[in-house]
Chain A
């Protein structure tokens, strides 16, 4: 439990370090997704879920940053 909480804090802090990275819903979705990933028991599944969260974020950001 402590580990999971720490992981959640680390990933959230990492993202919070981005100055107001709140690209509308993209960042909010990411933080929520990180929260769900942090609740996964298995380290490997938790890590994979975290990576999926980041990929979802980039899908979202891609539409805004390079979509035309």
Chain B
């Protein structure tokens, strides 16, 4: 009898243990604060000390402090911006020393401060599509109209693009025009709390996990649908297998994926699926969100914090 009781207890505890690791079919999203951002495109994200900095609409910085549950928006004070025009910026790269960088236009690397001031500008001499940070190096995405070739270049000591970083290579699409191919070869890199960061192409249900020194491995993401390039290119709000990726301190990979909106939901930018994977790509479950989300701000031992489609910050319990 005693043994049977222990067996029942073990089964129950085992079931609890398993259920705590399973993704809920539908995740609950608890609002925290906000809205912190409007409908403008989030063109970049960087972690700066206690704050997460977003580039909003190419012209504003939004500094989010999760601990204090508040955000501050400042205008980037570029020369054109101060003269009534606008200098659109794209991407943010932040370093541990607090420095923050962006691409101004296509051909200028700008160092900026979190209060929006432009500290310095460096002409790059040729166009680039993207800018990220890895370790203490800047990463540049070449404007590549003639693939295949290295997708990302690491900056040298002078911060200018110098050498290929990682083995991510741009892809050929023989049936598509040059400009469409260039667009499909644009890479995004997500945030990380480990030595590996996730980078991805817009059409693939897969990420490249790349260390600071450029070592690269490709991880397929089961359960997420690939999107044919033609479909991706023909939509105004394309469904993307990977909208954002975040590697948490335990090495768990969190993916925000477009999924399908519920029937009757308004068409809006954002992902309806939050997926979790082990670092080898083994699925730990995919949960549907009650509201579309645009960005993964953080994933800690208890929650995954998101920017929602309505611009607020909310938390989903991790599984």
Residues of A within 8 A of B (CB): 14-15, 17-24, 30, 51, 53-55, 57-59, 61-68
Contacts and interface: CB of A to CB of B under 8 A. Distances in A.
B142 to A, nearest CB: 12
B27 to A, nearest CB: 19
B235 A54 contact: no
B230 interface: yes
A61 B233 contact: yes
A14 B176 CA distance: 8
B318 interface: no
Contacts of B179: 15, 30, 53-54, 57-58, 61
Interface of A (DSSP majority class): helix
B230 A66 contact: no
A57 B230 contact: no
B178 A20 contact: no
A30 B186 CA distance: 18
Given A54-B145, A68-B294, A15 B234 contact: no
Contact of A67 (B42, B230, B234): B42
Contacts of B143: 55, 58
B24 interface: no
B236 A65 contact: no
Contacts of A20: 230, 234
Interface in B199-230: 202, 230
Given A62-B183, A67-B41, A68-B295, A21 B176 contact: yes
21 contacts: A14-B178, A17-B175, A17-B176, A20-B234, A23-B235, A53-B179, A54-B145, A55-B127, A57-B183, A58-B186, A59-B88, A61-B179, A61-B180, A62-B129, A62-B186, A63-B41, A65-B232, A66-B130, A68-B42, A68-B43, A68-B269
A66 B244 CA distance: 9
Nearest to A19: B230
Contact of B106 (A14, A59, A68): A59
Given A63-B43, A65-B202, A24 B236 contact: yes
Contact of A66 (B88, B177, B180, B186): B186
A20 B45 CA distance: 32
Nearest to A67: B41
Contact of A68 (B127, B236, B243): B243
In the A-B complex, list the 7 residue pairs whose CB atoms are closest, starting with the nearest. Answer: A61-B183, A67-B41, A24-B236, A54-B179, A68-B42, A65-B202, A15-B177
B233 A21 contact: yes
Contacts of A15: 177, 179-180
A52 to B, nearest CB: 9
Contacts of B233: 18, 21, 23, 61
B90 interface: yes
Contacts of A14: 177-178
A22 B230 CA distance: 10
B257 interface: no
Given A58-B183, A68-B269, A68-B294, 7 more contacts: A20-B230, A23-B234, A23-B236, A30-B179, A55-B127, A64-B236, A65-B183
Contacts of B240: 65
A67 B186 contact: no
